[in-house]
Structure 1
Amino acid sequence: MNLVQRVRETASAQPEKTAYHFAGKDTSYAEFDQSVARFAAALEGLGVGRGDNVAMLLGNTPHFLITLYATMRLGATAVPVNPIYSPDEISYILQDSDAKAVVALEQLLPLVEAASVRLPAIESYVICETTGETAAKVTELSEVARSKTRLFSHLITTSTAAAMPVDPDENETAVILYTSGTTGRPKGAMLTHKNLYSNAADVGEYLGFSSEDRVVATLPVFHVFALTVVVNAPLVKGATILLVPRFSPGDVFQTIREQKATIFAGVPTMYNFMYQYPEASREDFETIRLAISGGSSLPVALLENFEEKFQVKISEGYGLSEASPVTTFNPLDRERVPGSIGTSILNVENKIVDELGEEVPVGQVGELIVRGDNVMKGYYKMPEETAAALRNGWLYTGDLARQDEDGYFYIVDRKKDLIIVGGYNVYPREVEEVLFQHRDLVEAAVLGVPDPDFGEEVLAYVVKKEGSAVTEHDLLDFCAKRLAKYKVPKHIEFLDELPKNTTGKILRRSLRDQVKS
């Protein structure tokens, strides 16, 4: 079984069931499957076949869903790319991934113009219209770019559902997901049909997804967390996806109310913005039976405040691109443990090891490693990096964690983010948790900076609530009462906002760059 086959089954068994809702319109599973078949035929007509790579520079619209499943239907490989990356970042991924075709938003036409010269190996560009001026803009491209460019709407309306679905081997690459690049050039994690289907099915089963669920998709769907939790898992279960083009608390609350959503998935930043939204009330979440958090650690203070305000339990989990991505979630049939990423999901093993790869005792901090059908086959064209990440059947995550006697895991921090002050380990998350307890702060991020006497010192960046008069002295005193002396920040910097990527994850690298400058 693979994702495409599963959608075809649902389209056959429940053709009228709504697959997704977007911009006031419901699309049934039968209509979705028909669009996938038509666009697959269109791609085939452009020369895309089994084993070719198709880059997708798309957001939370039906274009993404159709392109993803049409590409997999052909046995080709989808390469989702963040459409708001810089031209240099996009060009790097297009070149590194050996993309044969690109499906992109209308706003990226200037990139198409440049890439038609810089990246001659790309044979076709398909542009997804967002305004009524798209066709006219295409005519303004250079002759070379124009000759390679087609309109999505034209292709899908003029194609027939003639492309027969390929039955790929489960170990063939279905998607190449490029890591966020927070530590340098991004690496392309090759995820197979088996990886994606198993993780979607296991997440759906573990969290009790059903065909009656209506899942809010406001997380960027090109990101691995959203790809599995709010796209593939709902489609595997025959549920309905509620596509929200971009995140705003008001739009999310409106969608939940109007569409009677039952599942919401977000990252900590989203939960923070929704909690701070002045017009929000518990009625805005009354139809939600399951709230999910991932992407980065959810501060316990925020979790408890959100749950109290909206009367909903948040199940926090953990994952990474290389694991398709989910490896743990707080279970629904047992006590949820605040601050924990939960227990291993179905068919996935997690354990904590030392530098020699030996499992450490319960409660001791070590590196989290993962094994299961969800683990990638490797990094695209990077054998050395693959060998470093995949050892003896296990994926080494680079995350420091511990496990308690009940089997619950806790992320301590990224291995690379560990701060060592005079020989003592300081985990940024521990300091951030304390700062989040202060009633005048909205956000906090902690990192280590060089110190001539102690090797490193702790530096905190914070965003305070509007109108707050809290000072650095106030916050240092607050921390000193709750942390060991060596863990207390040496300095606290106030910012209007913290730098984040499109999924809301705080970019520590950008903060480090501020320190250097």
Structure 2
Amino acid sequence: MEKVWLKSYDQVVPPEITRELPPLTSFIEAAAHNYPEHTAIHDGKISMRYREFAAITSKIAGNLRIHGIEKQERIAIFLPNCSETILAFWSTIKAGAVGVMTNPLYMESELVHQFNDSGARFVIANEQLWAKLAPVFANTRLEKAFIVMETAESAATIIDNERVFSWSALLHENSGYCCNNIKPTEDLAVLQYTGGTTGISKGCMLTHANLAANVLQSERMFHVLKPGQEKFVGVLPYFHIYGLTVTVILPVALGSTMIPLPRFTPKSLLNLVETEKITCMASAPSIFNACLSQKDIDSYNLSSLKLIISGSAPLVVNQMELFEQKTGAKIVEGYGLSETSPVTHFNPIFGNRKPGSIGLPLPSTEAKIVDVEYGTREMPDGEHGEIVIRGPQVMKGYYLQPGQTDLVLRDGWLYTGDIGYRDAEGYFYVTDRKKDLIISGGYNIYPREIEEILFRYPKIKEAVVVGIKHPTRGEAPRAFVVPADGATIDRRDLIDFCRKNMANYKVPRDIEFRDSLPKSAVGKVLRRMLRESNRPA
């Protein structure tokens, strides 16, 4: 196919990545060799150079093997953004195991599904999350947990050294380990959970080659970043593939410093950028909006920032322009999916950054627009259709779901479910979604997951959830509920029920009670009519 977008690349960006795709372990080895004294992790408690980082991840990998983990077995990493998350991920990779990044906001039922579906044998968590983890142990295949403890007193009540161990057990001296027989195109590095049109959570099988390719593609596109010189702030959640690839894997490939931000507030982020002289920040529109709302933003020195990467939702043009004015950094907007490791498109840094566009396909990436009905006819420039993508970053498939895999992977092309168009210069635009996915503050919310929990409430006859516009989060879930005959539902009680059974960001911000829901002739709820009829949240 003709890659018309190549003409719009920045001059230094190559059309292809020509390097052989290595196992991810090679990135640590290269960083330790080339930048042994450069800081790898710094978080206020820990400051670790790359030679130390390489040694400790080998030690943890060795202890994981001593405890019984085998190549390609699953380890769930159930932690917030912190140094231990970075160490746990890279140690899992060195052990030859597969990381299952797990959202700390998940409630018990969500944890049980992900742990059981992935078949995770071990889990790494912290003391605060133990309250969620402890009740699900008996309902999962988990065999061992390693807990980051804060106090010896708490350890006495949690650690039994049979199934539950302290994180320090993974720091015991050993000869170190790094799996040396990884097959990059076959062996998985991450089982990244996402959702589909049905809302059923699926594990995207991402190989070492998938993630290595995406890092190398991003390196080429983000050419202003210099190896051994950058500082990345970890404001995006590490459990999300966007945060994982761009703020945990890419920095190591560049021999750069990772500075995790455990809990985002606008002031904590702005202060961290100023004090640590952050040079690269991967972010989302909700974060920009929160920072710009700070009345004292001009009192912070943000001039160290050179590149800000924006994804997960469309960025408002005036927000981008205002943030660039206040930082002097370049903001580039892009697009990706869990199924593509995740990045597929980005606007050029110095070229024409088109407002509203997701940008150009990355090097070694093909993209086109096909008809929505059958997905076989390529659409001309300017006409809407489904965005389909082909490249080395595209997943191997959905774990244990060949039927779902066949629906989205056809003849090497990934069918994204997103509707958009391409202009004459090769810039792509997303205008709608085939899926009913709600993106709220950078989080993906699948209406079916919320609906299934609502249906567990005894007084509900029917329920449907749609995304509505929200002034700061982009979108928010709204539930439309039909009570059971003769029943009266207390709104506060229903919201409390939701809070107990799902992560807080999924809880409907508004519930509207109705006598009936609009339906088609075959009984399908017409979500579009609900979206059009509702008022802003």
Q: What TM-score, normalized to structure 1?
A: 0.79
> What is the match of residue 209 of structure 2?
194
Of the candidates 220, 224, 229, which is equivalent to residue 205 of structure 1? 220
| Aligned-partner SS, 1:350 | strand
1:123 touches 1:148 (CA, 8 Å); kept in 2? yes
> What is the match of residue 391 of structure 2?
372
> What is the match of residue 136 of structure 1?
156
For 1:72 and 1:260, how far apart are their aligned partners in 2?
A: 29
Query: In the alignment, residue 155 of structure 2 is paired with which amino acid?
Result: A
2:98 touches 2:189 (CA, 8 Å); kept in 1? yes
Could you tell me how far 1:164 is from its partner in structure 2? 4.0
Q: How does 1:55-94 map to 2 (within 5 A)?
A: 55-94=76-115
Could you tell me how far 1:462 is from its partner in structure 2? 4.2
Query: In the alignment, residue 288 of structure 1 is paired with which amino acid?
Result: L
Q: Which blocks of at least 5 consecutive residues in structure 2 are unaligned? A: 1-21, 448-465, 474-497, 516-537
Query: In the alignment, residue 145 of structure 2 is paired with which amino acid?
Result: Y
For 2:467 and 2:290, how far apart are their aligned partners in 1?
A: 24
> What is the match of residue 9 of structure 1?
30
Q: How does 1:102-251 map to 2 (within 5 A)?
A: 102-119=123-140, 121-139=141-159, 147-156=162-171, 158-170=172-184, 171-179=186-194, 184-208=199-223, 209-211=225-227, 212-251=229-268
CA root-mean-square deviation:
3.0
> What is the match of residue 381 of structure 1?
400
Could you tell me how far 1:389 is from its partner in structure 2? 0.9
Could you tell me how far 1:514 is from its partner in structure 2? 5.0
For 2:423 and 2:43, how far apart are their aligned partners in 1?
A: 43
1:282 touches 1:311 (CA, 8 Å); kept in 2? no
Query: In the alignment, residue 63 of structure 1 is paired with which amino acid?
Result: E
For 1:29 and 1:47, how far apart are their aligned partners in 2?
A: 27
For 2:120 and 2:511, how far apart are their aligned partners in 1?
A: 32
1:295 touches 1:505 (CA, 8 Å); kept in 2? no
For 1:67 and 1:29, how far apart are their aligned partners in 2?
A: 15
| Aligned-partner SS, 1:107 | coil
With over 3 angstroms needed to count, the CA separation of the structure-2 counterparts of 1:234 and 1:515, relative to structure 1, is farther
> What is the match of residue 416 of structure 1?
435
Q: How does 1:27-42 map to 2 (within 5 A)?
A: 27-42=48-63
1:389 touches 1:395 (CA, 8 Å); kept in 2? yes
With over 3 angstroms needed to count, the CA separation of the structure-2 counterparts of 1:349 and 1:514, relative to structure 1, is farther
Of the candidates 371, 377, 380, which is equivalent to residue 361 of structure 1? 380
1:198 touches 1:373 (CA, 8 Å); kept in 2? yes
CA deviation map 1:213-266 (0-9, x unaligned): 111111111100011111111111111112111211111111111111111111
For 1:183 and 1:306, how far apart are their aligned partners in 2?
A: 37
Could you tell me how far 1:107 is from its partner in structure 2? 1.8
> What is the match of residue 306 of structure 2?
289
With over 3 angstroms needed to count, the CA separation of the structure-2 counterparts of 1:30 and 1:248, relative to structure 1, is same
> What is the match of residue 450 of structure 1?
none
Q: Greater CA deviation, 373-382 or 203-212?
A: 203-212
Identity of aligned residues (%): 35
> What is the match of residue 358 of structure 2?
341
For 2:472 and 2:262, how far apart are their aligned partners in 1?
A: 28
Q: Greater CA deviation, 208-217 or 363-372?
A: 208-217
Q: How does 1:476-491 map to 2 (within 5 A)?
A: none
| Aligned-partner SS, 1:126 | strand
> What is the match of residue 17 of structure 2?
none
CA deviation map 1:423-481 (0-9, x unaligned): xxxxx99xx9xxxxxxxxxxxx9x9xxxxxxxxxx99554499xxxxxxxxxxxxxxxx
Could you tell me how far 1:91 is from its partner in structure 2? 1.0
Of the candidates 245, 269, 289, which is equivalent to residue 252 of structure 1? 269
1:263 touches 1:291 (CA, 8 Å); kept in 2? yes
| Aligned-partner SS, 1:187 | strand
1:174 touches 1:191 (CA, 8 Å); kept in 2? yes
With over 3 angstroms needed to count, the CA separation of the structure-2 counterparts of 1:116 and 1:29, relative to structure 1, is same
Q: Greater CA deviation, 2-11 or 298-307?
A: 298-307
Query: In the alignment, residue 85 of structure 2 is paired with which amino acid?
Result: F
| Aligned-partner SS, 2:262 | coil
2:302 touches 2:326 (CA, 8 Å); kept in 1? no
For 1:461 and 1:112, how far apart are their aligned partners in 2?
A: 34
With over 3 angstroms needed to count, the CA separation of the structure-2 counterparts of 1:308 and 1:14, relative to structure 1, is closer
1:191 touches 1:377 (CA, 8 Å); kept in 2? yes
With over 3 angstroms needed to count, the CA separation of the structure-2 counterparts of 1:364 and 1:284, relative to structure 1, is farther
Q: How does 1:295-310 map to 2 (within 5 A)?
A: 295-310=312-327
For 1:322 and 1:516, how far apart are their aligned partners in 2?
A: 37
For 1:350 and 1:510, how far apart are their aligned partners in 2?
A: 35
With over 3 angstroms needed to count, the CA separation of the structure-2 counterparts of 1:206 and 1:462, relative to structure 1, is closer
1:276 to 2:296 alignment: no
Could you tell me how far 1:274 is from its partner in structure 2? 0.5
| Aligned-partner SS, 1:285 | coil
Q: Greater CA deviation, 129-138 or 232-241?
A: 129-138
Q: How does 1:292-331 map to 2 (within 5 A)?
A: 292-331=309-348
For 2:514 and 2:73, how far apart are their aligned partners in 1?
A: 42
1:403 to 2:418 alignment: no
Q: How does 1:403-482 map to 2 (within 5 A)?
A: 403-417=422-436, 461-463=469-471
CA deviation map 1:274-332 (0-9, x unaligned): 11111101753211111110011112343233334444332100000000000001111
For 2:346 and 2:50, how far apart are their aligned partners in 1?
A: 29
2:271 touches 2:300 (CA, 8 Å); kept in 1? no
Q: Which blocks of at least 5 consecutive residues in structure 1 are unaligned? A: 419-427, 433-444, 448-457, 466-498
> What is the match of residue 453 of structure 1?
none
1:323 touches 1:376 (CA, 8 Å); kept in 2? yes
Query: In the alignment, residue 148 of structure 2 is paired with which amino acid?
Result: C
Query: In the alignment, residue 210 of structure 1 is paired with which amino acid?
Result: K
2:108 touches 2:133 (CA, 8 Å); kept in 1? no
With over 3 angstroms needed to count, the CA separation of the structure-2 counterparts of 1:87 and 1:234, relative to structure 1, is same
For 1:41 and 1:337, how far apart are their aligned partners in 2?
A: 48
With over 3 angstroms needed to count, the CA separation of the structure-2 counterparts of 1:57 and 1:309, relative to structure 1, is same
| Aligned-partner SS, 2:301 | helix
1:362 touches 1:404 (CA, 8 Å); kept in 2? yes
Could you tell me how far 1:383 is from its partner in structure 2? 0.7
Could you tell me how far 1:102 is from its partner in structure 2? 0.8
